């Protein structure tokens, strides 16, 4: 067993921390994160409120935990949705080739030219701001990214002799994509998904900060940040906590993705 | 010039080279023949001081009278290129695709001999002419992908010659080349060795190219040299059962193809497969596949004997 | 009885333009090749890299379409069959590849890979996987192992087992023994001879090595840069090559 790369280990620690917090919030938080206690607003850290309270007296730790859950859920749903559509499109493009491949790739180019935030604002303008619209917007930007990665890796596998052998055996495009292509490009897709997870967390925070994502009273790091912004001089720590959480989560998933890439990169791994 | 005395290399999985003894004198042309897993490429990397880190070495390796068995990287570096140079199987991957081949060959000239840009370019053209690259000045300005496989291998030979080595090790230099080109490259190596008085170690699985280009040959199997002697003697009158099997297994294009019943003639084969490192016998490594095997062959370590070095207790040695 | 008839096979590949407005240059991979293979007979195709021999294999396997000419298998023009019809016919002609390390999916057990052609046909696997492993000199238990657990020669046996599992009439072998060691190569060549006699296989055997082709082939076709230099009875060509190029290939394959 070779030593695991440092970026992978650090990423794994940060990610487990964040996922752990999110999972814990499902069953337990120190306080009800939405319970108001105006008399106890801007409380300093104490034994009851470990990181103090905000301007409405809500417990910060509980809100951060809920924010973690919110971030993870949004990123998971968005990456899964956009990723699966993208992977299917990429497999189609590589498997069928010809005009299908051209069409998928030109559409991907087109959607790359369209900023995600703009798309989210458009969705919000038409359907009103909501968390699900933010999820759709983030999922949408993931489609072309996954389509490209999938197509590029799949095209490599399509030239392998064992794929030729499967074709000679009379296997169709669908069966080959399912049996040979997908399992052999899974590593590349997982790496990409991990990195896109980080991007999605950041995007959710940005959208919520702009009021286009999680709506009050739902807790979200981005929304906590925007609420704290007006009180920057009064209580800077209220902006620092969610900011640190965003940094930790984004950094964690980014490092984990890089680390996974280092581990699975065929140029670094000697086959045979 | 180079002398190996009972050199052994051991990995965690088993012993990969066993008591290899060899002498290479200036101008010698030695062929090392073996199949995959025979240890021939490992032997070459030992001669360059580039054995893998995981390997444990014993025995001695002497270059120009200096014991290099425990030499570190610092001691080896000046010897490489200037005393011992090497060319490899895959000429494309050994060249930087983004550099003109002339610049690649000029680099060691400027580094080791302190030549100016113009002097180096002139020397590169001479080297390219020496390896029979047509139109050397133009070739020097080309990128690797603009050259054919044979031309790329010639560039690498020129690079190896740049520092005027006393020994050139060629590890399967023609395996990736077409048959005709392979012949030309092999002939070029012989030619260079004769003109420069440079020793040549040709490592190959191809008996024909070894026969064509070397004076002496060592046949390897499972980390042993099983037979060593004059190339003509060994290849025309092989004595070790493995050498015999290997030679017989080559199809002969001129031989009759069918027997009296009109059935296609089968080729003589060596039964079984080359065992993995961990599965090699304690005694003779060829035990288990050998037609002449005696009960104690697998356990008793064979002793090299005979005027032609032979590692087989069953066969009487002869010249 | 003629099993495979190729007529005037021609295939060009477009090359990148050398000038912005000039015509697009073409690489002629194979030009006007015609040949037949009878049941149980072996045609050897000899040539060096770039001679068009691999293109020929892909055309015969109907992996790509020729620019001109046709391939008729058992009287059916492969390149004008519908996709479903072609897939139904595929079990009849199978292929083995050069690189025994690349022709088996590293993530699939040997038994799974062997069963693939049967699943594509929709036939029951039954004992066929075990039988064909034994037939190529391996063991029935090897079906549960992964490709990396085998040596190059053993992998090539597995690839052959997969190719014969559908009882094809034609086997296309593209440099099938080139990557193997000398002693293993002889074993695999003998295995191909055994199987050919047992199953009445016709073979299209592609190689750069005259010696290998000589051991196996009834008829011979020599290719150079896409053109057929000479073709005909194997023994006749080997004994009296008409072309200087054929002679040089023979010299290169000469005995030590």
Split into its structural domains, chain C has a count of 1
Question: Which stretch, A43-57, B37-51, C136-150, has highest mean pLDDT?
Answer: C136-150
Among candidates A166, A167, A184 on the partner chain, residue whose Cβ is nearest the Cβ of C107: A184
The Cα–Cα gap between B41 and B53 comes to: 15
Report d(CA A68, CA A62) in Å as an integer: 10
- Tell me which of B317 and B292 has the higher pLDDT: B292
- Residue A81 is part of a domain; what is its CATH number? 1.10.3720.10
Domains of chain B and any CATH numbers: 1-83+165-319 (3.40.50.300), 99-162 (no CATH)
What is the rounded distance in angstroms from the CA atom of residue A52 to the CA atom of residue A43?
5
Work out the minimum CA distance from A165 to partner chain C, whole angstroms: 7
- What residues have CB less than 8 Å from B98, skipping those under 6 apart? B143
What mean pLDDT do residues A25-49 have? 80
Longest dimension (CA), chain C: 62
Residue A32 domain flag: no
Q: What's the pLDDT band for C256 if we cut at 50, 70, 90?
A: low
Q: If you average pLDDT over every residue of chain A, what do you get?
A: 87
Query: What CATH number did the domain enclosing C175 receive?
Result: 3.40.50.300
pLDDT tens digits, A101-139: 999 999 999 888 877 778 888 888 888 888 888 899 899
pLDDT at A267: 52
What phi and psi values does residue C195 have, to the nearest 5 degrees? -65, -40
CB atoms within 10 A of CB C83: 9
pLDDT at A269 over 70: no
CB within 8 A of B198, min separation 6: which ones? Answer: B26, B27, B165, B166, B167, B168, B192
**Is A238 within a domain?**
yes
Determine the pLDDT at residue C227: 92
Contacts of C4 (CB under 8 A, 6+ apart): C36, C37, C60, C71, C72, C73, C74, C93, C170, C202, C204
Contact A162 C88 (CB under 8 A): no
Query: Could you tell me which chain B residue has the CA closest to the CA of C47?
Result: B178
Q: Do C210 and B210 make contact, defined as CB atoms within 8 angstroms?
A: no
Q: Tell me, what's the ipTM?
A: 0.84
The set of chains that have 3 or more CB pairs under 8 A with A is C
Cβ-nearest to B180 among C151, C238, C252: C252
Mark yes or no for CB contact A161/C107 under 8 Å.
no
Range of the domain at C79: 2-16+23-252
The string of pLDDT tens digits covering residues C234-255 is: 989 988 899 989 988 888 776 6
Does A270 have pLDDT greater than 60? Answer: no
- How remote is the C-alpha of C232 from its chain's centroid? 19
The verdict on residue A31 lying in a domain is: no
- Going by pLDDT thresholds of 50, 70 and 90, the confidence category of residue B67 is confident
pLDDT given at position B186: 92
Choose the most confident range, by mean pLDDT, from A76-90, B177-191, C20-34. Answer: A76-90
Please list the helix, strand and coil fractions of chain B in percent, rounded to the nearest 5, in that order.
30, 20, 45
The answer, yes or no, to whether residue A2 has pLDDT greater than 70, is: no
A30: in domain? no
Measured in Å, how far apart are chain A's first and last C-alpha atoms? 16
C48–B251 C-beta distance less than 8 A: no
- The answer to the question of residue A197 being in a domain is yes
C-beta atoms of C95 and A166 within 8 A: no
Are C138 and C161 in contact, with CB atoms under 8 Å apart? yes
A160 contacts in chain C (CB < 8 Å) = 102
Q: What is the mean pLDDT of chain B?
A: 88
pLDDT of residue A1: 46
Under the banding of pLDDT at 50, 70 and 90, the label for residue A271 is very low
Check CB contact of C102 with chain A, cutoff 8 Å: yes
| Mean pLDDT rounded to a whole number for chain C | 90
| Domain span at A173 | 6-18+59-264
- Write the burial class of residue B54 (CB in 10 Å: 0-12 exposed, 13-18 middle, 19+ buried): exposed
The count of structural domains within chain A is 1
Query: For C196-210, how does the pLDDT look when each residue is reduced to its tens digit (9 = 90+)?
Result: 999 999 999 999 888
Dihedral, CA atoms, B61, B63, B67, B73, nearest 10 degrees?
Answer: -90
């Amino acid at each position: 067993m070779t030593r695991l790369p440092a970026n992978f280990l650090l990423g794994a620690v940060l990610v487990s921390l964040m996922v752990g917090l999110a999972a814990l919030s499902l069953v337990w938080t120190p306080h009800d994160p939405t319970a108001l206690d105006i008399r106890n607003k801007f409380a300093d850290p104490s034994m009851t409120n470990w990181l103090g309270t905000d301007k409405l007296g809500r417990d910060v730790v509980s809100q951060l935990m809920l924010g973690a859950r919110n971030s993870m859920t949004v990123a998971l749903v968005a990456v899964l949705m956009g990723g699966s559509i993208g992977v299917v499109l990429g497999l189609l493009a590589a498997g069928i080739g010809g005009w299908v491949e051209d069409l998928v790739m030109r559409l991907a180019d087109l959607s790359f030219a369209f900023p995600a935030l703009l798309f989210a604002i458009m969705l919000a303008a038409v359907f009103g701001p909501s968390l699900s619209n933010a999820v759709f917007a983030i999922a949408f930007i993931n489609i072309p990214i996954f389509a490209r990665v999938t197509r590029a890796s799949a095209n490599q596998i399509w030239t392998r002799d064992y794929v030729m052998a499967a074709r000679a055996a009379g296997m169709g495009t669908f069966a080959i994509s399912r049996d040979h292509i997908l399992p052999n490009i899974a590593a590349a897709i997982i790496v990409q998904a991990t990195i896109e997870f980080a991007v999605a967390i950041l995007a959710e925070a940005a959208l919520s900060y702009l009021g286009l994502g999680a709506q009050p009273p739902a807790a979200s790091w981005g929304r906590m940040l925007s609420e704290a912004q007006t009180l920057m001089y009064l209580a800077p720590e209220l902006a620092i906590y969610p900011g640190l959480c965003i940094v930790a989560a984004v950094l964690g998933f980014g490092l984990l993705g890089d680390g996974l890439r280092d581990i699975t990169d065929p140029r670094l791994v000697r086959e045979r | 010039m180079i002398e190996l005395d009972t050199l052994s290399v051991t990995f965690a999985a088993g012993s990969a080279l066993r008591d290899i003894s060899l002498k290479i004198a200036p101008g010698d042309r030695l062929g090392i023949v073996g199949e995959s897993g025979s240890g021939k490429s490992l032997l070459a990397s030992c001669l360059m001081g580039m054995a893998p880190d995981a390997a444990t070495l014993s025995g001695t390796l002497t270059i120009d009278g200096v014991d290099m068995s425990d030499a570190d990287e610092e001691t080896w570096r000046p010897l490489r290129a200037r005393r011992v140079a090497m060319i490899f199987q895959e000429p494309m991957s050994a060249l930087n695709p983004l550099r003109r081949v002339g610049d690649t060959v000029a680099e060691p000239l400027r580094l080791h001999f302190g030549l100016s840009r113009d002097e180096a370019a002139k020397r590169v053209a001479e080297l390219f002419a020496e390896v029979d690259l047509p139109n050397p000045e133009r070739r020097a300005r080309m990128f690797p992908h603009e050259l054919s496989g044979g031309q790329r291998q010639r560039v690498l030979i020129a690079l190896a010659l740049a520092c005027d080595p006393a020994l050139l090790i060629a590890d399967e230099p023609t395996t990736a080349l077409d048959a005709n080109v392979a012949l030309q490259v092999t002939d070029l190596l012989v030619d260079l060795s004769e003109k420069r008085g440079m020793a040549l170690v040709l490592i190959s699985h191809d008996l024909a190219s070894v026969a064509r280009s070397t004076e002496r040959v060592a046949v390897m199997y499972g980390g042993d040299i099983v037979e060593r002697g004059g190339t003509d003697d060994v290849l025309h009158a092989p004595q070790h059962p493995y050498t015999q099997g290997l030679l017989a297994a080559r199809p002969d294009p001129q031989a009759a193809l069918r027997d009296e019943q009109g059935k296609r003639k089968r080729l003589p084969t060596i039964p079984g497969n080359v065992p993995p490192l961990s599965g090699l016998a304690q005694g003779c490594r060829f035990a288990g596949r050998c037609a002449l095997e005696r009960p104690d062959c697998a356990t008793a370590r064979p002793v090299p004997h005979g005027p032609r070095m032979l590692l087989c207790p069953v066969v009487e040695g002869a010249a | 009885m003629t099993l495979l008839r190729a007529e005037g096979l021609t295939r060009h590949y477009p090359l990148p333009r050398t000038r912005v407005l000039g015509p697009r240059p073409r690489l002629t991979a194979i030009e006007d090749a015609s040949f037949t293979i009878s049941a149980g007979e072996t045609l050897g195709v000899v040539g060096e890299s770039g001679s068009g021999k691999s293109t020929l294999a892909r055309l015969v396997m109907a992996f790509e379409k020729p620019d001109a000419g046709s391939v008729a298998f058992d009287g059916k023009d492969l390149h004008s069959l519908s996709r479903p019809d072609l897939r139904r016919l595929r079990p009849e002609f199978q292929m083995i590849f050069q690189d025994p390390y690349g022709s088996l999916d590293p993530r699939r057990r040997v038994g799974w890979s062997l069963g693939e052609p049967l699943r594509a046909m929709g036939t029951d696997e039954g004992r066929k996987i075990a039988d064909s492993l034994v037939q190529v000199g391996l063991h029935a238990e090897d079906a549960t192992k992964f490709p990396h657990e085998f040596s190059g020669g053993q992998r090539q046996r597995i690839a052959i087992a997969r190719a014969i599992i559908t009882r094809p009439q034609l086997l296309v072998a593209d440099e099938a023994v080139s990557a193997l060691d000398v002693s293993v190569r002889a074993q695999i060549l003998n295995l191909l001879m055994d199987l050919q006699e047992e199953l009445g296989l016709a073979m299209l055997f592609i190689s750069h090595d005259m010696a290998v082709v000589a051991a196996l082939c009834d008829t011979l076709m020599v290719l150079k840069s896409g053109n057929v230099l000479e073709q005909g009875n194997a023994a006749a060509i080997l004994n009296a090559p008409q072309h200087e190029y054929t002679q040089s290939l023979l010299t290169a394959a000469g005995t030590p």
